[in-house]
Amino acid sequence: MTAGDEVRAPGELPAVGYAPSVPRPPIGFAIDVPDHWTVLDLDPATSEAWLAAFLSGRLSDRPHTQRQRALARRALRSLLDQLREQQVFLAAILAADVGGEPVSASATLAWRRLRPAGSTLPIDGLVRVATEAPAEAGEDRSERLVEVVTLPAGPAVRVTSARAVAVPGTDAVPTMAQTQHLVPVLDTGWLALLTTSTANPSLVAGVDEVADQMAESLAFTPIPAGRG
């Protein structure tokens, strides 16, 4: 999937957009998202129509009540709002049933400006930041793994971690497995933060593989002066 003004989500969903308020570096980029994952519409101007189409396609052949549909819509709308607040540029989810049990995973791409234009982010500095960052709620920092990897886009830092996450309204406290790639964006002073996560133990290995595949597919293209 090549990023531009719009991307085509899998299936018959409308083309999705990006939240215009979310910052991004002045470069072109491309990234591949697995075909069986659904790219979310984060543009407030179009997300409601996209959400209606998504729910219609997912629930059309199931005996859900209007109340259940409303709850699903509310939950997804809340997720979209949360992603915008976190200034996520691109998000995709995997939502399916395996053996009658629901499974899910997510992938997000966010941009963070750390230095002025013309700066190259030092890998050793990113390693230090990732290693020394305080533990998140429910995380055992001693289990965090930080390593340097070489991607087509250049050297990057790969971080794997896990943390216990309470599920609101239940007594469940599943373990959320997370993989992050911190990828310097050429010499722009920007960082690409690619994150995948899942709380389903049966999906951890597969989602970890997806994380690496997406990171390998990430490519940056400088925009010629005057092109905007």
Across the 228 residues of the chain, what is the mean pLDDT of every consecutive 10-residue run?
40 80 92 93 93 78 67 87 95 75 85 92 96 92 96 97 78 86 96 95 93 97 68
Looking up tokens 């055992």, which residue turns up?
Answer: 140
Using DSSP's 3-state secondary structure scheme, residue 82 falls into helix
- Report d(CA 200, CA 207) in Å as an integer: 10
Q: Is the dihedral of CA 42, 161, 33, 100 positive or negative?
A: negative
Per-residue exposure over 153-183, b if at least 16 CB sit within 10 Å of its own CB, e if not? beebbbbbbbbebeeeeeeeeeebbbbbbbb
Query: How much is the pLDDT for 168?
Result: 61
- The residue ranges of DSSP E strands in 33-153, in sequence order, are 38-39, 88-98, 101-113, 145-151
